[in-house]
Amino acid sequence: MIQQPSRDDQIIRKDMIAQDQFQGWIDSVTQLLNNLDFARGAGSPEGVIFAAKEKRYFNTTGSAGTLMYVKNTDITLNTGWVAYA
């Protein structure tokens, strides 16, 4: 679990650089977000995106029934994406 800095902590030094504890928190959150198992893009990922099984894909131009996809086949394939609402 990532420990959020206290609201009372000073987060920026006088030279406008993030305090060490705040920078550490920023780095931890960034790493967590980068490791999330999802992707996004415009349109269907079917036949386009190679991904591991169970990866999520969010269609930024989708509508009901084509907003989220889940990969149901192996990483070596770019097919097997199933659309969910």
> What confidence tens digit (pLDDT) does each residue in 65-83 have?
899 999 999 877 899 999 9
In angstroms, the CA 8 to CA 31 distance is: 24
- Residues 41/57, Cβ–Cβ less than 8 Å: yes
> pLDDT tens digits, residue range 14-68?
787 777 767 777 788 777 766 677 889 999 999 999 988 888 999 999 888 899 9
Q: How confident is residue 8, by pLDDT bands cut at 50, 70 and 90? A: confident
Residue 5 has pLDDT above 70, yes or no: no
pTM over 0.75: no
**What pLDDT does 4 receive?**
66
In angstroms, the CA 47 to CA 69 distance is: 13
Q: Determine the 3-state secondary structure of 28 from DSSP.
A: helix
- Residues 71/55, Cβ–Cβ less than 8 Å: yes
Strands 81-84 and 68-71: antiparallel
In angstroms, the CA 2 to CA 70 distance is: 27
